[in-house]
């Protein structure tokens, strides 16, 4: 009599293999969330007019939050200069200082590092309007370098959040209007087309670069959180996500300010109360608080080791 049939042996074998080469983080493993990025992730100067996604995610998944993302940031001010605390010149150095002097203690095994960057790198005043020295290749390589640099300092668990379809935010939509982020004359059709290309190329490139990098970082877990797919789904199926008291709205913003060409103070319209949760965008550039709760819910699921529709673990 055969003790095991082939299927049983295969099941046993693949189970033990998966314990050795398990990809992704395990349920209960992660206790700390360390966030890097721009205003989409900043918990102090929040982009969504309310509570930012990392605070929600930390609450949903019962994590200690160490927030380093800062509004206005690009990956590196040596690549795309903006007068804000960039990832490489400000956020990472602060993290390294705090770990070196002991004010931040986080066991690498129990800690996950997230990065959501690119919005300012590809945006107006950077790649979209032309850069003398940088391209989408440079800013994407910079973002991937964040994984390497942290890995070398002991970090092991990474979630890389790619760029959303920025051509759908009011600032970059084809029927955009003059607003607080841009008041100079422009061709909104051209911006819309070019932004679509920048985001798609940057995301395709970051995916391939991470796929190449992942097998070289022994013991690391690297996941790609597909913000692009999630926001595309929210844009196309808003009633599955937006729950305010007004009709769902993915083209306007909770706080929209129409400026005159070349600037004035703007004429603002602000949606208040429970109707706000009907909107995908807070203003002409930022996701709404409800959109951020969705991001937080999905990221929390990943961190808790659950299977997630938007996440691909590469290692």
Ligand X SMILES: *[C@@H]1O[C@H](CO)[C@@H](O)[C@H](O)[C@H]1NC(C)=O
String of contacts with ligand X for each residue 279-308, x by CB under 6 A: -----------x--x---------------
**In this chain, which of 243, 263, 268, 309 binds ligand X, going by CB under 6 A?**
243
Q: CB under 6 A: which stretch of 6-14, 69-77, 130-138, 250-258 binds ligand X?
A: 250-258
Rounded CA gap, 203 and 198, in Å? 8
- Asked if residue 180 binds ligand X (CB under 6 A), the reply is no
- Asked if residue 270 binds ligand X (CB under 6 A), the reply is no
Total residues at interface with ligand X (CB under 6 A): 21
- Asked if residue 240 binds ligand X (CB under 6 A), the reply is no
Instruction: Name the CA radius of gyration of the chain, rounded.
Output: 21
**Closest CB to ligand X among 69 and 271?**
271
The long-range contacts involving 267-276, CB below 8 angstroms and separated by at least 24 positions, are 271/246, 273/245, 274/244, 274/245, 275/244, 275/245, 275/246, 276/49, 276/244
In this structure, are residues 185 and 268 in contact, taking their beta carbons and an 8 Å threshold? Answer: no
Beta-carbon-side half-sphere exposure of residue 212 (alpha carbons within 13 Å): 9
**Least distance from ligand X to the Cβ atom of residue 203, Å:** 23
- Asked if residue 236 binds ligand X (CB under 6 A), the reply is no
Q: CB under 6 A: which stretch of 17-25, 59-67, 225-233, 239-247 binds ligand X?
A: 239-247
Rounded CA gap, 43 and 8, in Å? 50
- Asked if residue 272 binds ligand X (CB under 6 A), the reply is no
**In this chain, which of 14, 18, 190, 309 binds ligand X, going by CB under 6 A?**
190
Q: CB under 6 A: which stretch of 12-20, 85-93, 266-274, 306-314 binds ligand X?
A: 266-274
- Asked if residue 274 binds ligand X (CB under 6 A), the reply is yes
In this structure, are residues 143 and 114 in contact, taking their beta carbons and an 8 Å threshold? Answer: no
**In this chain, which of 38, 42, 121, 277 binds ligand X, going by CB under 6 A?**
277
Phi, psi of 247, deg, nearest 5: -60, 145
**Least distance from ligand X to the Cβ atom of residue 269, Å:** 6
String of contacts with ligand X for each residue 101-140, x by CB under 6 A: xxx-------------------------------------
* Neighbour count for residue 154 (Cβ, 10 Å): 11
- Asked if residue 239 binds ligand X (CB under 6 A), the reply is no
Phi, psi of 268, deg, nearest 5: -105, 145
Beta-carbon-side half-sphere exposure of residue 216 (alpha carbons within 13 Å): 9
With the C-alpha atoms ordered 293, 294, 295, 297, is the resulting torsion angle positive or negative? positive
**Least distance from ligand X to the Cβ atom of residue 227, Å:** 17
Q: CB under 6 A: which stretch of 15-23, 172-180, 205-213, 251-259 binds ligand X?
A: 251-259
**In this chain, which of 18, 129, 187, 216 binds ligand X, going by CB under 6 A?**
187
**Least distance from ligand X to the Cβ atom of residue 277, Å:** 4
With the C-alpha atoms ordered 242, 246, 250, 255, is the resulting torsion angle positive or negative? negative
43 to 102, contacts with ligand X by CB under 6 A? Answer: 97-98, 101-102
Beta-carbon-side half-sphere exposure of residue 75 (alpha carbons within 13 Å): 28
Q: CB under 6 A: which stretch of 32-40, 111-119, 183-191, 218-226 binds ligand X?
A: 183-191
Q: Which two tokens stand for residue 200?
A: 């798609």
Q: Which two tokens stand for residue 269?
A: 């319209």
Which has the closest alpha carbon to 196: 224, 223, 232, 248? Answer: 232
Q: Which two tokens stand for residue 156?
A: 């092991």
SS3 225: strand
DSSP 151-162: HHTT--EEEEE-
Binding site for ligand X (CB under 6 A): 97-98, 101-103, 187, 189-190, 243-244, 247, 249, 251-252, 256, 269, 271, 274, 277, 290, 293
């Amino acid at each position: 009599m055969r003790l095991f049939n082939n299927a049983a042996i295969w099941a046993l074998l693949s189970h033990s293999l998966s314990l050795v080469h398990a990809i992704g983080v395990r349920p209960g493993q992660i206790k700390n969330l360390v966030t890097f990025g721009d205003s989409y992730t900043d918990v102090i100067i929040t982009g969504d007019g309310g509570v930012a996604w990392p605070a929600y995610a930390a609450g949903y998944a019962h994590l200690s939050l160490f927030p380093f993302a800062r509004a206005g940031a690009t990956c590196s001010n040596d690549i795309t200069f903006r007068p804000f605390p960039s990832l490489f010149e400000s956020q990472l150095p602060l993290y390294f200082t705090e770990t070196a002097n002991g004010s931040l203690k986080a066991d690498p095994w129990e800690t996950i590092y997230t990065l959501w960057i690119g919005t300012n790198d590809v945006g107006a005043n950077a790649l979209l309007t032309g850069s003398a020295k940088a391209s989408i290749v440079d800013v994407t390589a910079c973002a991937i370098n964040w994984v390497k640099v942290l890995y070398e300092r002991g970090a092991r668990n990474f979630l890389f959040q790619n760029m959303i379809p920025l051509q759908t935010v009011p600032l970059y939509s084809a029927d955009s209007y003059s607003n607080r982020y841009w008041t100079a004359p422009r061709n909104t059709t051209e911006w819309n087309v070019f932004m679509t290309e920048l985001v798609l190329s940057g995301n395709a490139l970051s995916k391939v670069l991470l796929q190449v990098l992942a097998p070289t970082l022994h013991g690391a877990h690297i996941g790609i959180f597909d913000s692009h797919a999630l926001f595309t789904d929210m844009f196309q199926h808003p009633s599955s996500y937006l729950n305010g008291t007004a009709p769902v709205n993915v083209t306007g913003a909770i706080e929209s300010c129409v400026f005159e060409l070349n600037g004035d103070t703007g004429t603002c319209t602000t949606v208040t109360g429970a109707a706000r949760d009907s909107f995908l965008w807070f203003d002409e550039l930022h996701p709404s608080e409800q959109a951020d709760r969705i991001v937080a819910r999905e990221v929390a699921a990943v961190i808790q080791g659950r299977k997630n529709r938007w996440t691909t673990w590469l290692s």
